[in-house]
Amino acid sequence: MIVSVASGKGGTGKTMVSTNMALALGEKLTFLDCDVEEPNAHLFLKPEKELVELVTTSVPSVDESKCTFCKKCSDICRFSAIIVVGTNVMVFRDLCHSCGGCMVVCPENAISETGRELGTIEYGQRDSIRFVQGRLRIGEAMSPPMIKKVREASFPDQLTIIDAPPGTSCPVIAAMNGTDFVLMVTEPTPFGLYDLQLAVEAVKLLGIPAGLVINRCDIGDRKVYEYAERQNISVLLEIPFDRKIAETYSRGKSIVEEMPEWKDKFLRLYRDIELHLERLKETV
């Protein structure tokens, strides 16, 4: 089973929920930090780093001695990553999506593959938790290929928890796509509601079952609850605005370890996800 933990906006407590659920379970699982622009789950899980792997993607390199400047490569590129100006072929490596189209259409075999560094994948272990995080190279704009690489690290016969990037654009879709359940984390404020609505639309498009965690549930208003009811999305956990929780989190500590009464609540959260999926199976 793969559970992705997502939020329409940053700062809602997504990482707090994903890391505490992983720690509460205390069973063999893989935790993937797919928030590759700003991975921070390691601050709370504190894994022992075991391996760092460089991740590259292929981009074209043109041998101008073979090139006839026919422009077939620039015509096929949807991202203007390769253009022909007179007798010059220019490649904009950072714009390239590595589709390989230009290499296929070049009639002179003048284009070969070269690598562009995307970032690193770091592997580690914390007790029974296998930890994997992606870290995008500073200045690298394309995170989905990196997220896909991180996702390759999950084992099919083991629970995987994914800490998805915030937002509702391509990176979060790359992190949620193909997962069994999306746990959305929000807060009961107008901003929380607005971003939740976008996240729910994205999850519906992907056709993935979802549930909700409402963080700082005792601030704001009831509109998030009313929206969740209309959308038939269950609220699986409410976390109050609590000074001790905020302090624990800001010190990089986990709530289930510092406040043991929360361990059962995060365990129940995971059991409710399992129950939800079992019921869905029965209705199919």
Site residues (vs ligand SF4, CB under 6 A): 60, 62, 67-73, 76-77, 79, 81-82, 84, 89, 96-102, 106, 108, 110-111
Q: Give the Cα separation of 132 and 122 in Å (integer).
A: 6
The tokens for 50 are 């075991």
Q: Of 1 and 99, which has the nearer Cβ to ligand SF4?
A: 99
The residue among 224, 225, 223, 213 whose CA lies nearest residue 268 is 213
Q: Of 104 and 275, which has the nearer Cβ to ligand SF4?
A: 104
Q: Of 32 and 118, which has the nearer Cβ to ligand SF4?
A: 118
Residue 145 CB, nearest distance to ligand SF4 (Å)? Answer: 12
Residue 236 CB, nearest distance to ligand SF4 (Å)? Answer: 41
Task: Return the ∠ at Cα 2 (arms to 26 and 187), rounded to 5°.
Answer: 85
The tokens for 244 are 């001790």
78, 65 contact by CB (below 8 A)? no
Q: Of 17 and 82, which has the nearer Cβ to ligand SF4?
A: 82
Residue 150 CB, nearest distance to ligand SF4 (Å)? Answer: 22
Q: Give the Cα separation of 78 and 126 in Å (integer).
A: 43
Q: What is residue 180's DSSP assignment?
A: S
Q: Of 98 and 177, which has the nearer Cβ to ligand SF4?
A: 98
Residue 109 CB, nearest distance to ligand SF4 (Å)? Answer: 8
Residue 114 CB, nearest distance to ligand SF4 (Å)? Answer: 11
Residue 147 CB, nearest distance to ligand SF4 (Å)? Answer: 18
Beta bridge mates, 91: 82
272 burial level (CB within 10 Å; 0-12, 13-18, 19+): middle
Q: Of 71 and 244, which has the nearer Cβ to ligand SF4?
A: 71
What is the spatial order of strands in the sheet that 210-215 belongs to? 48-62, 111-126, 129-136, 29-33, 159-163, 2-6, 181-186, 210-215, 235-239
